Amino acid sequence: MKNLLPLLNRLMPVMMPILIILLTLQALMSLHISLDGIIQTLGRARAFYGPIALLFGVMALSGFFFDRHATKRARRGLRRKRGIFMDVLARLTNRKALEEMLAQEQKEALIDADELAAGLRARVIGQDAVCEDIAQQLRRRLALHIRGKPVGIFLLAGPPGTGKTYLAKQVARQLGRKLLHFDMTQMSNAFAATQLFGSPKGYVGSDSFGKLTGGLKEFPDSVVLLDEIEKAHPDVFKKFLTAWNDGHVTEASTGEQVSTTRAIFILTSNIATEELTEIAQNFEGDPDRMRAESTETLRKAGFAPEILNRLDRIFVFRRLEGLDLARVAALEIEIMIDGYGLRVEPGGIDPALLFQIMQRQQKIGSGASARDLVRSIEDMISETLIIARQGGATLVRLVSSQDGVKAEVTAESESTRSRLSN
Ligand SMILES: Nc1ncnc2c1ncn2[C@@H]1O[C@H](COP(=O)(O)OP(=O)(O)OP(=O)(O)O)[C@@H](O)[C@H]1O
Ligand SMILES: [Mg+2]
């Protein structure tokens, strides 16, 4: 029965005329109408045949085009219900209004470049040139409405612990976009591609989408962070090249194509750190030359040339030094204090504490990164913050002494003071 119904459905155009002819003959015979009478009547109505045929022709054609158009629209990621393609948004909401809102939001994202640069500079310390450059790039690239490729494919290169991963996270945050973060050190085997792009039908995992394909399907505007890209397996590289060149990725389990044209790809790399640092210093005032030299250096260091050719821009990070380290330390302390559900009083970080942290950093030597810094801070202040939190504090000041660092509670004294003065 299940197979018979579609077959009957398909035979409908043939069956219907036969049925109508038979019914007409039956009616003519029952009414005793002669063939001559019919021919005479048909002759009298001759003038109307042309216009009627034309009218039907126009109706049939417009029906055909409407159907084709509706099916095409409905197919775009929508579902099929009882044989009829139906856009769920057309059915359940005002799709046009929603599209206008999205277009408006995209327009608003364009004008935020200066604000974005300022926001990034405030968070990512010591990398002002990179922050400004990336904000400008994003502004220009987001302005291009028609593009068959991702918004941008950027490489952040430079020494460890200088804020590469951190910047990518901040870009996503400041643009209000979803971050899809992939650690490429985990993608160094041949099976890694299935994690990102799904497994072919019949294989384990083919009942769900890959992390990248699924992520992009749900959030096409994502910032895709590919951390330490040089560690990825060549098969994974290949798939990314398609994603960038063709403007889509293919989900292996369903063969569905997911667009990458609204995504921003940020790659990070640790290759050729020493040389790149030197280049960043030597060509500080000449960004074009800096990029050309960096590309050459990365090529010589064995960075996959096909990826290098496909990059829209390379940003080289500088090593953090001098007061930059103190700034990162102060920011980290603030984040840590927030993390314990507390707030730091304005001016509430003892400079002696920052000085101590910087000295520890110097002891580690030139290989020291911001990651070591974060670890030092954790060691020094987490215990006292826990105690302050347990004591019910909300606002604290960090004071350094020979016995270590102490979080002094200031909120209590304030509230006591205000209670006394009332
Ligand atoms: N320039 C910076 N400004 C502010 N915080 C920073 C900066 N650099 C590093 N940090 C802090 O140190 C942490 C580690 O830095 P991040 O992971 O960005 O380093 P990275 O450059 O990606 O290093 P790697 O190459 O080893 O992955 C960050 O989460 C951040 O808290
Ligand atoms: Mg990193």
> Model confidence over 79-98: pLDDT tens digits?
444 445 567 888 888 888 88
Give the C-alpha distances (Å, rounded to integers) separating 90 from 13, 70, 105, 218, 252: 30, 11, 21, 19, 29
Within a domain: 302: yes
pLDDT in tens, 100-124: 887 766 655 565 788 999 999 999 9
User: Domain holding 236: CATH number?
Assistant: 3.40.50.300
Q: Are residues 145 and 190 in the same domain?
A: yes
pLDDT in tens, 237-287: 889 998 999 999 999 888 999 999 999 999 999 899 889 888 888 888 888
Which of left, alpha, beta for 187 (phi over 0: left; psi -120 to 50: alpha)? Answer: alpha
Enumerate helices (H) and strands (E) in the chain, giving the number of each: 18, 12
Q: Are residues 332 and 258 in the same domain?
A: no
Instruction: Report how many domains make up the chain.
Output: 3
Q: Could you tell me the pTM of the whole model?
A: 0.70
Break the chain down into helix, strand, coil percent, rounded to 5. 60, 15, 25
Average pLDDT in the 362-370 region?
Answer: 71
Q: Are residues 276 and 204 in the same domain?
A: yes
Q: Are residues 304 and 367 in the same domain?
A: no
Q: Which domain holds residue 344?
A: 323-421
Asked if pLDDT for residue 421 goes beyond 50, the answer is no
User: Which ligand has its closest atom nearest to the C-alpha of 158?
Assistant: 1
DSSP run (H or E) holding 345: strand 343-349
Within a domain: 7: no
Within a domain: 11: no
One-letter amino acid for residue 162 of the chain = T
CA of 157 to the centre of ligand 1 (A): 12
Within a domain: 97: no
Q: Are residues 171 and 240 in the same domain?
A: yes
Domain termination residue (choose one: 275, 294, 316): 316
Q: Which residues crowd ion ligand 2, with CB under 5 Å?
A: 164-165, 268
Within a domain: 255: yes
Asked if pLDDT for residue 371 goes beyond 70, the answer is yes
Please say whether the beta carbons of 361 and 368 come within 8 A: yes
What residues does ligand 1 touch, defined as CB less than 6 Å away? Answer: 124-127, 160-166, 268, 270, 320, 328, 331-332, 370-371, 374
Q: Among 395, 375, 376, which Cα is nearest to 385's?
A: 395
Q: Are residues 160 and 37 in the same domain?
A: no
Q: Are residues 62 and 198 in the same domain?
A: no
CA of 172 to the centre of ligand 1 (A): 15
Strand 313-316 relative to strand 152-157: parallel, antiparallel, unpaired? parallel
Q: Whose C-alpha lies nearest to ligand 1, atom 29?
A: 166
Domain termination residue (choose one: 271, 287, 316): 316
d(CA 267, CA 73): 34
Within a domain: 4: no
Q: How confident is the model at residue 197 (pLDDT cuts 50, 70, 90)?
A: very high
